[in-house]
A and B are shown apart, each in its own frame.
Chain A
Amino acid sequence: MKRFRSFLPLLAAIAFLLVTFALWVPENRFLTFGNLIDLAQQISVNGILAFGLTLVILIGGIDLSVGAVVALSGVICVSVLGVAGPIGGLAAGLGATVLFGIANGLCAARTSMPPFIITLATMLVARGMALGFNESRPLPIDADQTFILALGNAILLHGWLPLPVVVMVAVFAVSAVLLHLTRFGQHLFAIGGNREAARFTGIPITRHEVAVYALCGLCAGIAGMIHASQLYSAEPGAGQGFELSAIAAVVVGGTSFSGGIGSLPGTFLGAIIIGILDKGLNQAGVHFSLQYVVKGMVILVAVYTDVRRRKGTAQ
């Protein structure tokens, strides 16, 4: 119950935004069934990215490369599709992104380079690798690749349940169990709260840290395939700025940037808030320049409340 109460402000924010846009968006186009299904579908990519990032931020790290990895995953998957089929494509794309995450994790765990700088650099590397495919032009997905196309577009249960939403919920469930119900997750909280304490306790920090970045890479890989599927093509330039939206979702969801505090349900709600804002402002006809301003303000307010809250309880 106590835990539930900490999500109340986020739930209230969601309700507030839904009502606001229901009233604001012309011709009552916002609160319609189709529009909400659409909204859920749009949230899925950002949500999956944010789940992986939550783990990274929780241990006091950051991964700026996820946006570029979205593009990399897409182009690798689609390039391999024609040769090795959908399973081969998925395996190649996800394998590559997990390896990328492991590389990030090894740099973060084994060197004293700050994760911000590491992943800023690997973001460029991943982007460059993606742009190396097909002379930086989009790679269309063949119409007969029904499985891959379904990944981002299929709607199950007679138009009730988009497949990408199913994937997002599955990723959420797995990562939430991992973080909140297992020893591994408990150790991540310990590492984020006091790295030295975790080390003195005998928790294998390097292994855990590498695993976290690898999971984040995996999430970015999954998100990249859904994104490519939704675009019907893998675009080497895709995913620009995705890392920022995902970080916004994590932070709005109450995960502390200094590590040790946060939750996956919170991130889920954060992703929903960012998604509603994006779609609602768009449909309300707000100029895109102003959309940036509004989103920026929302993040500021969220972080400010987070800092205020921590001031009251920490140390």
Chain B
Amino acid sequence: MTPTSESTATLLALRGIRKHFGGVVALDGVDFELRAREIHALLGENGAGKSTLINVLGGIHRPDEGEIRVDGEAAQIGSVTDADRLGIRLIHQELALAPNLSIADNLFLGREPVRFGLLDRRRLVADAERLRDELGLPELGDVRVRVGKLNIARRQLVEIARALAIRVRILVLDEPTASLSESETEALFGKLRRLRGQGVGIIYISHRLEEISRLADRITVLRDGRSIGTQRAADLDMQRLITWMVGRELKEHYPRPPHTPGEVALSVRGLRAPGVNDVSFDLRCGEVLGLAGLVGAGRTELAHVLGGLVPATGGEIVIGGRPVRLSSPADARAAGIALVPEDRKRDGLVMTQTVGFNLALPWTHLWSRGLMPDHRRRGAIVARAVKGFAIKAGSADAKIGTLSGGNQQKVVVGKWMEQPPKILILDEPTHGVDVGAREEIFALIGRLVTQRMAVLLISSDLPEVMNLSHRLALYRDGRIVRQGAAADFTPEQVMAELTREAPRTSPPAENAAHTKEGLHQL
């Protein structure tokens, strides 16, 4: 942590910040320093205290103990207004926008211009347009459009524009790229670098080590509510960062299971559905087929067709040599397909219920006699899943929400394994899952494959999909544009293929964010 030539004045200093909620200690003495003209990444597993820390900075939580200094002067941040006054702006993970209001309304929410006591709508729109132009964000387009109609990437831009609408000195971003495609991420990075050049200090929170190594000047790791250490990105030691984060050594990043393909389990020919245009592929037992595609490429649509959620409008699905029609999830299950959906909280779990309830849910016919539940059988099913998948829960009666993201994901996969499916479709299985749990999920996939399961892995995380898959299918605009053995692809090729611009009918502003070429204008 020696001062470097490019270092400048300390903008923000935190010393010994503590915060507890009831009996849970969220922050246990955090020290942190942010300089002007610096992008400082904050790393840590889920539950390490990152979100609490930034909420302390944003005036949403008040620390129990500790000192916050802004520009060397002690500062009290008791409310969002205090944070505003100090020039601290937060961009939350769950985008904090009102979908029913226009872009302009959202940009000036809480600070709307008023004339004679009434809202001055004309000035609101004019101010928003000026802000858009000053910030160089032409992609925002018409500021009178309702935010609910925008895609995630453009909503992110609205958030950023809003953060910059007032004089910002410290910008905090919490997992901003979680739902962005690779090219949209690059565009965002361009913006952040420009802000850094203007003297803004940026705190950047992310799970993704790769992107942090590209963007950040320094990296601080939090674990169990404590700051473990700070590194300059220039002399980045990935292994040490991971050790800091998980508190133990992680040997191999991506344990690819041995490839011993068997007979074809699933064969898709000319499949069509909304968002899916003429898709053909074969998936064999004992192999992982990686479907790599950007957000919005139509991957989830394909998963939904194979899961029986959306009917196909054309083409053929052959399972075990027999053509099948999948017009309901029950059909898909009968055909031996299990789908692990992208949004596990919404589509994969009954969040109000317990671990045991979720694990036993697909098997009610096995543990009920007539109308009466057989608690012993149910318990046995649950116990097998908990043990087989090393699900870390207080007990089978613990609420599913008390589990970490990784363990929740294990429940979503594990609930199908009482009678394992032949074909497992995983849609973004490591979304919002921390490093340690990612490893466990990878190991899980490996184990299922050695048990001759056929796995379709859908992911926008390139290293993940490239390293875990035996074969790779590149997916763009509802089509497989190239497929082959994973070893034959380089990351650069894949990226170039996935971001290649296809003829589109959407407005140019939207297009710019999807192409690498669009980045230079930012």
Contact = CB atoms under 8 A, between A and B. Distances in A.
Partners in one complex: yes
Interface of A: 177, 181-183, 185-187, 189-190, 192-194, 196-203, 260-261, 313-315
B90 interface: yes
Contacts of B99: 193-194, 260, 314-315
B475 to A, nearest CB: 23
A181 B118 contact: yes
Nearest to A197: B96
B325 to A, nearest CB: 27
A189 B110 contact: no
B283 to A, nearest CB: 32
A187 B106 CA distance: 10
Given A182-B117, A186-B119, A194 B81 contact: no
B139 interface: no
Q: Is the interface of B mostly helix, strand, loop or mixed?
A: loop
Contacts of A198: 98, 109
Interface residues of B, number: 28
Contact of A200 (B60, B101, B118, B149): B60
Given A181-B119, A186-B112, A200-B58, A315 B94 contact: no
Interface string B183-209: 000000000000000000000000000
B118 A177 contact: yes
Contacts of B499: none
A192 B100 contact: yes
20 contacts: A177-B118, A181-B119, A182-B114, A182-B117, A182-B118, A186-B109, A189-B105, A190-B98, A190-B101, A194-B96, A194-B98, A194-B99, A197-B95, A198-B109, A199-B60, A200-B92, A202-B79, A203-B109, A314-B99, A314-B100
B84 interface: yes
A154 B110 CA distance: 43
A197 B148 contact: no
Contacts of A186: 101, 105, 109, 112, 119
A189 B96 CA distance: 14
Contacts of B110: 187, 201-203
Contacts of B92: 196, 200
Given A181-B119, A199-B60, A202-B79, 7 more contacts: A186-B101, A192-B100, A194-B96, A194-B100, A197-B106, A197-B109, A260-B100
Closest 8 CB pairs of A and B: A193-B98, A202-B80, A193-B100, A260-B100, A197-B96, A201-B110, A200-B96, A194-B98
Contact of B98 (A177, A182, A260): A260
A315 B148 contact: yes
Contacts of A197: 95-98, 106, 109
Contacts of B119: 181-183, 185-186
Contacts of B100: 189, 192-194, 260-261, 314
Nearest to A194: B98
B146 interface: yes
Nearest to A185: B119
Contacts of B112: 183, 186
Given A177-B118, A200-B90, A201-B110, A194 B97 contact: yes
Given A200-B92, A313-B148, A183 B98 contact: no
A177 B110 CA distance: 18
B63 to A, nearest CB: 18
Nearest to B108: A186
A310 to B, nearest CB: 9
